[in-house]
């Protein structure tokens, strides 16, 4: 009977560890995907900003990129104290960084994102959009001033 109890406890412990490991893998995968999507959108918006000198939320490409960045921002803010998430998010950003987001500057970009306020796209509120554009410009300026490899 003792032996059966020990076997059941071992199986239960292994299931618990296995499920925890799967959950971490899922979160890391989601973080990498969010990082990649955020980097792609950030680069799109950065290129638009460099060519026009502004962020136009009436431009569908800029607006779509802004929404993707806002989504990444929300995800990062949700997990900003989770080092594993932050590391996976950074890896995703670097993998999609196209030479603009590198291992050398990704932490500066993520820290800038975490310190922003007002990165919240709401088409119904003009003042909110102005705040969003201002926050996006700060983020784009950080990308432009961050040292590349």
pLDDT in tens, 17-46: 344 444 556 778 999 999 999 999 999 999
Find the mean pLDDT for residues 101-119. Answer: 88
Among the residues of the chain, which ranges form H helices? 2-52, 60-78, 83-95, 106-115, 126-145
Rounded distance between C-alpha atoms, residue 63 and residue 129, angstroms? 10
Structure confidence at residue 144 as a pLDDT band (50, 70, 90): confident
Instruction: Identify which of 11, 37, 30 has the alpha carbon closest to the alpha carbon of residue 88.
Output: 30
pLDDT in tens, 129-138: 666 777 777 8
pTM equals 0.67
Rounded distance between C-alpha atoms, residue 148 and residue 131, angstroms? 28
């Amino acid at each position: 009977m003792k032996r059966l109890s020990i076997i059941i406890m071992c199986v239960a412990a292994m299931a618990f560890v296995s499920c925890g490991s799967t959950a971490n893998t899922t979160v890391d995968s989601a973080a990498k995907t969010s990082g990649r999507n955020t980097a792609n959108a950030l680069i799109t918006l950065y290129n638009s900003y460099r060519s026009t000198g502004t962020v136009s939320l009436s431009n569908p490409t800029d607006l779509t990129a802004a929404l993707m960045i806002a989504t990444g921002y929300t995800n990062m803010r949700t997990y900003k104290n989770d080092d594993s998430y932050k590391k996976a998010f950074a890896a995703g950003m670097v993998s999609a960084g196209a030479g603009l987001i590198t291992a050398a500057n990704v932490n500066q970009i993520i820290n800038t994102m975490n310190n922003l306020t007002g990165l919240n796209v709401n088409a119904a509120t003009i003042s909110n959009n102005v705040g969003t554009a201002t926050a996006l410009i700060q983020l784009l300026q950080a990308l432009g001033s961050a040292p590349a490899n």
